[in-house]
Amino acid sequence: MPAAFEPAAEPELVLYDLASVHGVCFSPVVWKIRLMLNYKRIPYRTEFLDIGPLPDGEKYTVPTIQHLASGTWLMDSRAIARWLEDTYPARPITLTSPLSDAVVGLARAAGMAAQYSLAPREPAVLSPRSRAYFVSMVEGLLGHPLGDLLQKEEAAWAAADEGMKEASELMMRNCQAGPYTEGERPCAADFFVAGAMASARAIHEGTWEREYAYEGFARVYDGLRPLMERGSW
Ligand SMILES: N[C@@H](CCC(=O)N[C@@H](CS)C(=O)NCC(=O)O)C(=O)O
């Protein structure tokens, strides 16, 4: 186990994540924050939660973090990333830059294709307590069975190809300078892309393979791959 992942005697943060049948993180936004915590070597522990109905008007999402010393609670991955950077400035991550923002924008748009592959397969990894709620909530929003998305899967990937290539090229731009999109120092785009790919891999290996086939996506995934060893605690 890399020294960075040795369980800390005193965790400073609690990371709230979604429970799965494998006991491993599978949410893209939680992976994004988990990879940041792992990169920064911040001592934390994980609490896995089920999802289910909440009283009217209440909305809680993961990732949520709790800072034990100050009693700070934070929800929303962008706010969490900002707070982590301000509170733990060592091993800095560039949260915004023209290149990082461009990659996130392109990868987010192109990555919508992944939803056609992943959403119908997600119930299989959700904890049994969350599964029925997830399926009825998403099918309510879609207005059709989740499985119907698979009929549009190939067309969605074909439509995403141009955007995936563009994002991939941007992620290759500094490949001589270091393992990350911007070279030596990681940026938000690295964590966004690697988190989405770690999530895809946890849900459906074939979807991760489609993404990994683009050179820039593979480069960024491999750059952060050592940090993915800690996905369950
Ligand atoms: N914009 C939010 C999105 C968070 C989000 O939607 N998380 C999902 C899991 S991937 C969730 O907690 N869903 C629970 C629900 O909708 O009840 C972020 O970046 O943190």
> Is the C-beta atom of 65 inside 6 A of ligand 1?
no
Atom 2 in ligand 1: which residue has the minimum CA distance?
76
The CATH number given to whatever domain includes residue 175 is 1.20.1050.10
Name the residue of 17, 29, 130 whose CB sits within 8 Å of the most ligand 1 atoms, as the mutation to test its pocket.
29
Residues of the domain holding 188: 98-229
Pocket-testing residue among 61, 78, 122, 199, ligand 1, by greatest number of atoms within 8 A of Cβ: 61
Could you tell me which residues come within 8 angstroms of residue 194 by beta carbon, excluding any fewer than 6 positions away? 31, 32, 35, 220, 221, 223, 224, 225, 227, 228
Alpha carbon distance 83, 33 (integer Å): 11
The mean pLDDT of 184-209, rounded to a whole number, is 98
Is 92 a domain residue?
Answer: no
Q: Phi/psi at 140 (nearest 5 deg)?
A: -65, -40
Query: What does the alpha-carbon distance between residue 185 and residue 180 come to, in Å, rounded to a whole number?
Result: 7
Residue recorded with tokens 């896995």: 48
For residues 173 and 84, give the distance between their C-alpha atoms in angstroms, rounded to a whole number: 27
Q: Is residue 93 part of a domain?
A: no
Least confident piece of the model among 82-91, 97-106, 124-133, 161-170? 124-133
Instruction: Check residue 30 and give its pLDDT.
Output: 98
Q: Find tokens 């966004």 and name the residue.
A: 192
Domain at 76, CATH number = 3.40.30.10
Reply yes or no on whether the pLDDT at 174 is more than 70.
yes
- Output the pLDDT for position 1: 44
Q: Is 174 in the pocket of ligand 1 (CB under 6 A)?
A: no
Phi-psi region of 37 (alpha: psi -120 to 50; beta: other; left: phi over 0): alpha
Report which ligand 1 atom has the smallest distance to the Cα of 59: 17
